[in-house]
Amino acid sequence: MKLFTNKKKLREEIGKINNISFVPTMGFLHKGHESIIKKSVKGSGKTLVSIFVNPKQFNNRKDLKNYPRNTKNDIKILKKLKIDYLYKPSYADVYKFKTKNKIYLDKFAKELCGEFRKGHFRGVIDVVNRLLEITNPKRILLGNKDFQQLYLIKKHIMKNKIKTKVFPCKTIRDKNFIAYSSRLKKLNPNEKTKLIKIIKVLKKYKKDLITKKQIYNFSKIKKKIISIGAKNVDYIKLIDLKTLKKPKKNKFNLFYALYIGNVRLIDNF
């Protein structure tokens, strides 16, 4: 594994390689990241992973400052996974150049997290666009847990006719159906227990919606989730993944964003 902190040197190394698979991360790697990286390594070509905590996608400085980091452990994991290249840039290395592509934000950016995190997706698309311009990969691998983010990146790539292909990767969960996330580290044991109970209720809620034992009622399910221990619930929405609208049939994913303590967690299933 070769480590680069400078885009110029990275480009010198990979400039002539036309089969690079790229996995962008903010570090503090977990089993979800590992699954995506393994998928990349098993494929043809070289694997490039980036670690960059992007300030522009955070809504407040405190959240950015408190975002979990462990570079030493990340490097250990990446070496074990036998990736080819790690790009760990500074802020200036990513942002101090003029991009070729304009940021394209699909209207779906106003839904779900976009309604509650102003400027978040613009920050996400900006950094991903910059990383793509720096690395010029054949493919980018992204997790389905962040479905909205994945969809918006895909739309930006299509709009700008960027040649990189988007490969969605399945969400990896623990035995309690909790999707792995870097933010889980910030939960104490009591909060983790609350999350397990909430997930159980949401899974049953979806099942009951499908079997018509339940009618969708946000206020009612929000009240129930808060009674179990959520500090707040931004949304619990049912979305048809093909139309991105309220489902007319029983094929949909349940999307949620909620707070346990000061930790905001999102998922869809």
Residues with catalytic function: 33
| Phi, psi (deg, nearest 5) at residue 244 | 60, 25
The type of residue at 86 is L
Hey, what are 18's tokens?
Answer: 């036309």
Q: How many Cβ atoms from other residues are within 10 Å of residue 16's Cβ?
A: 7
The type of residue at 75 is I
Calpha distance 128→56 (Å, rounded): 11
